[in-house]
Amino acid sequence: MRLSLIYDKPNTVVDELLSICQAYDLPLDWVVHRHNKLNDKQILQLKQTGDTPIIAILKNTPTLIKVEDKTIIKSTLNWSALQHRIVTAGRKSELILQACKPQAGMTVLDGTAGFGHDALILASSGAHVTLCESNPVMALLLYYEYQAMAQVANWQGLLGRMDIIYKDTSEMTGEFDCVYLDPMFPKDSYKAKVNKQMQALHELAAPPTQSEAHQIFCRSMNMIKPNGRLIIKRPIGAPYFVQQPPNHSIQNDALRFDRYDKNGYSALHLG
């Protein structure tokens, strides 16, 4: 995948990103642009020359760029902004924890890691969380954010329970107490306008095809331990993933979490 990297002031972030790309063998073809003073006009001009994803180094932070109707949307992983939510996370406040029911010592696979925010909440329970990300640009940002936050003392315990893997979920192996999926779905599935992070993800990746979705579902079910569960996050009005009815669902006004139990879920459902 071709990736444009733009920056102005000399900094170590560019070298760190290039080092991560090499260390984890991310298939990115870099085009690096340096400007004397980076501004929105230059970003717009670069974005209008093609569909190549852009990462801009703004305030020493890798920032994913999306342009919509000549408006620049800037997205960062910004894990530090979630600190209060992580510290106070519990089943009463977090629907994802109600659905997944992670506990200390359990293993969870987040098969659609994205910006990593859901994985952070899952890891706050004490569970060990593996983040699986198939898009090399998002994997790059995840590795960078992980390394940056690992330098902060009070984050080290949480991050010690998290691993990042660049791979498609349909190719994963292993056994987990819970597999969690937040698959991409068409833009018109949302009742309200999606946040800027989701807009950026839509720029990078398309929803899975029916065949790809079926492969992800079957692989996920196969990786669950005998008493484990698969949790799939959906918009409230969206159809069931691959048309498979869950064992149970919980929801709020915007989202639904569908639960598929390893025990009690017939293999006939996977036909």
One-letter-per-residue 3-state SS of 207-222: CCCHHHHHHHHHHHHH
Q: What band does 265 get if pLDDT is binned at 50, 70 and 90?
A: low
Q: What band does 99 get if pLDDT is binned at 50, 70 and 90?
A: very high
Compute the radius of gyration of the chain from its Cα atoms.
19
Partners of 107 in the β-ladder: 128
Q: What band does 46 get if pLDDT is binned at 50, 70 and 90?
A: confident
Mean pLDDT confidence for 133-162? 97
What pLDDT is stored for residue 175 in this prediction? 97
Structural domains in the chain, CATH included, are 2-76 (3.40.50), 79-269 (3.40.50.150)
Q: Is the pLDDT of residue 261 over 70?
A: yes
pTM of the full predicted structure?
A: 0.93
**268: which 2 tokens?**
């006939």
What pLDDT is stored for residue 268 in this prediction? 41
Q: Is the pLDDT of residue 72 over 50?
A: yes
The span from the CA of 189 to the CA of 238, in Å, is 6
Mean pLDDT confidence for 86-110? 96
pLDDT tens across 163-222, in order? 999 999 999 999 999 999 999 875 555 455 556 666 777 778 778 899 999 999 999 999
Q: Is 22 exposed, middle or buried (0-12, 13-18, 19+ CB in 10 A)?
A: exposed
Cα 261 off chain centre by: 23
Alpha carbon separation from 126 to 161, 223, 230 (Å, rounded): 7, 20, 19
Query: How does strand 61-68 pair with strand 71-75?
Result: antiparallel
Alpha carbon separation from 263 to 100, 213, 222 (Å, rounded): 15, 22, 12
